[in-house]
Amino acid sequence: MRTTFLATFTAALAAGGSLAHAQPTDSQMEKRASINPIMNGQNFPDPAMIRVADGWHAFATNAKINDKLVHVQVAYTSDFKAWTYRKGKDALPTLPSWADTKNPRVWAPDVSQLNDGSFVMYYTVAWKAHPALHCVSWATSKNVEGPYKDSTTTPWICPTAIGGAIDPAGFLDDDGSRWIVYKIDGNAVGHGGVCGNTVKPIVSTPIMLQQVRQDGHTKIGNPIQLITNGPNDGPVVEAPSLGKLDGKYVLFFSSNCFATTKYDVAYATSKNLKGPYTKYGPLYVTGNLGMVAPGGLNIAVGGEHAIWHAYVNWTEAPEQCISVHRHGKGKKHGHHANECRSNHGTGRAAYTAILSMKDNRVSASSLS
């Protein structure tokens, strides 16, 4: 969805186009950030976080804890250094009636605080009417760690004809307007190959921007495409997170296939919220600080603190995760979804850093 150094690059093209990925050296990064994952490498995939008065609260994709499925994992820190994993705590214990509760596949939660002090969680879940596909939904709570309640009766964002939607993240602009970025999961209805989308014709997996009212969920107007997958992005762009650094809008995203070592974190910048965005990167790649397939970087709303994941003790993904020939709009993808989203190793550990940017070059500061 998802590391530490001064990002370098060799070329950048307009949003949706290709870009050349320049890889930074380990020596550049070791000077600028923590090498070790937080929580001793605890499995915490697709992480996102929010800062409130008592500290930082982080949320992650579903996991089985003591043989019980936890839909949304939770962690906490008061100082952005020492994190506590809330083992067994589920921030979203109950799913809406339209969700595929037998195999929900709850991914990539993201929390924003509303003006009245309450909280809204955006998240991804499978729809029982189209169990091979995912939709974006929202839930609310008076407490940052929940429990969150989803009162929707139908999916909130779910363009099933083009693959559904995943990886939502909230953004609060300087003028107080609220927005959501998310990915249209086009590769879920792709034609096969790596992550279902390297067999031509290649399907678009665009990152979309949707404005919402101050309640955090009532949509204003239609969504706007910010970027999509180009020739050098591999089968997808996904895991968007929108922030503002050095007076510019910065859209972080991952490209390539999450089940391969080519997965990465990249970013794109724009002077205007709605674009056009110019791609740069990658920011983090396999081999940086010993990480494998880093991805899903989330930058906190209104700040520069970031969290992302990388695999621990990597093993090769099952063949059906890397190369899938889909028949009937992702049926095979749905069948293998839990196995394919499982970690190819002991887990996907979370990493943190403090980001800054100058002249479209993102760097990460040490946490010491």
Provide the 10 A C-beta neighbour count for residue 358. Answer: 10
The one-character DSSP state at 335 is: H
Q: Report the DSSP beta bridge partners of residue 352.
A: 307
Q: Are 342 and 63 within 8 A, CB to CB? A: no
Among candidate residues 145, 238, 264, 304, the one labeled active-site is 238
Q: Please say if 90 is a catalytic residue.
A: no
Is-catalytic flag, 46? yes
CB 269 within 8 A of CB 249: yes
Instruction: Check if the beta carbon of residue 307 is closer than 8 Å to that of residue 354.
Output: no
DSSP state of 103: S
Token pair listed for 174: 């300087």
Among residues 46, 90, 100, 145, which one is catalytic? 46
Burial class (CB in 10 A: 0-12, 13-18, 19+), 262: middle
CB 350 within 8 A of CB 77: no
Residue 48 backbone class (left: φ over 0; alpha: ψ -120 to 50; beta: rest): beta
What are residue 235's phi and psi, to 5 degrees? -75, -20
| Element (DSSP H or E) covering residue 64 | strand 63-65
Point out the residues that are catalytic: 46, 238
